[in-house]
Amino acid sequence: MEDTLPSALEGIKVVDFTWAALGPTTCDYLAVYGAEVIKIETQARPDLWRIVSPFAGDVPGIDRGGLFATANVQKYSVALNLADKRGVEVAKKLVRRADIVVESYRPGAMARLGLAYDDLRKVKPDIIMLSTCMYGQTGPLAHLPGFGLTLTAASGISNLTGWPDRAPQPSGEYTDFIVPRFNVLALMSALDYRRRTGEGQYLDISQMEAALHFMSPVLLDYSVNGRELSRTGNRSEWAAPHGVYRCRGEDSWCAIAVTSDKAWEGLCAAMGRQEMLKDPRFASLIDRLDHLDDLDNLIEAWTIEHNAEEVMEVMQAAGVSAGVAESGRQLDNDPQLKHRNYYHEMDHPEMGRMSYSGMPIRMSETPYRITRGAPCLGEHTAYICTEVLGMPGEEFAQFMNDGVFH
């Protein structure tokens, strides 16, 4: 039955001028939920995620990048030299038949190519264009380059990550996986607006401003109380114990969080340490917060005698929040994810059989589908240009010889 249902974005056409993580992930959502996404890229300056590890089989190659594969499922790849005016004209032909254009270059880059919003409106008056960059298209910092790691620091997130007696700890490209949700929401709103009015629009998404939504408690605490939230490691003001505890085995850990007196009673029972309930150091949340080192030592003395899965199961059965700190291997074999058919295995011409992650949102009437993996660079150039755009074979061959498709 599900195979006969339409996907949510079936019929929507997208031209994807993005690279690295955030922009491609935005378009990846669109593709998996049914949109036709044509990715414009070039061998002269390949997508960053094509050329960074991990590589399939640990063999480097422009079509073997694991990170690229995760963010470009079900897209068509067209190799197009935009430094050549003929390449720009091909891009405009793709825009003419599109609903959405997404780009993640530095401000001004699309305009220098002749592909700014005003240029594209002349080609497709109702086009929806989304630009997503670090700080937005205007302002004193708009021109600055950067990636998720630097934006995570600039937005204040890294300042909250780590231990109170140490420097801030980088938390990876965290914002690269926050902002795409905002981008997709904005695009859905623009599509709805166009449906109602017949008008397209330009969407200027500041990745910094989107990320700040996750800093709202910090901003509120400072504006109201004049207080700056500091790094607390694994600890919490409203839970004790609250940490990740070493378990039996190599690099084996389990997270445990106790947020109520009932959960505290459950933890003591699960450990077989009911005498802790009478210990004045742990009589209340405030008392436990005052004796966290003692508490953590007692808990880890118990968890180290058990494997992480056992700790999780025993704690959960006792009504205590607990979860294994899973590795990539464990996630790949997670029984819950397997039951939900989260992973989709497909063949790739360079990487062989590989697994692609599914989507967290399942819609009963408009399901997502993953039927094709990530493309090789330029894999669909001939198909898109000759079959979709109707370019004559001789012209295509001439463009190929001239380096337009590069």
Would you name the residues annotated as active-site residues? 176
* Residue 350 to residue 357: CA distance in whole angstroms: 19
The verdict on whether omega for the bond into residue 54 sits within 30 degrees of 0, i.e. cis, is: yes
Token digits of residue 69: 């594969």
CA angle 213–218–224, rounded 5-degree value: 115
Q: Count of H helices and E strands in the chain?
A: 17, 11
- In whole angstroms, what is the distance from residue 388 CA to residue 384 CA? 5
HSE, CB side, 13 Å, CA atoms: give it for residue 223: 6
Q: If 0-12 CB within 10 Å is exposed, 13-18 middle and 19+ buried, where does residue 71 land?
A: buried
Secondary structure of the chain: what % helix, strand, coil (to 5)? 45, 15, 40
For 291, list phi and psi in degrees, rounded to 5: -130, 45
Whole-number Å distance between alpha carbons of 384 and 14: 13
Q: Is 233 exposed, middle or buried (0-12, 13-18, 19+ CB in 10 A)?
A: middle
If we measure between CA atoms, which residue out of 169, 227, 179 comes closest to residue 25? 179
| 398 contacts 405 by C-beta, under 8 angstroms | no
Q: Please name which of 46, 42, 49 lies closest in space to residue 20, comparing C-alpha atoms.
A: 49
Residue 120 in 3-state DSSP? helix
| C-alpha pair distances (Å), 112 with each of 42, 88, 244 | 17, 11, 50
Which residues, listed in sequence order, are joined to residue 101 by a DSSP beta bridge?
15, 129
Cα–Cα distance, 123 to 186 (Å, whole number)? 22
* Cα three-residue angle 354-355-357, rounded to 5 degrees: 150
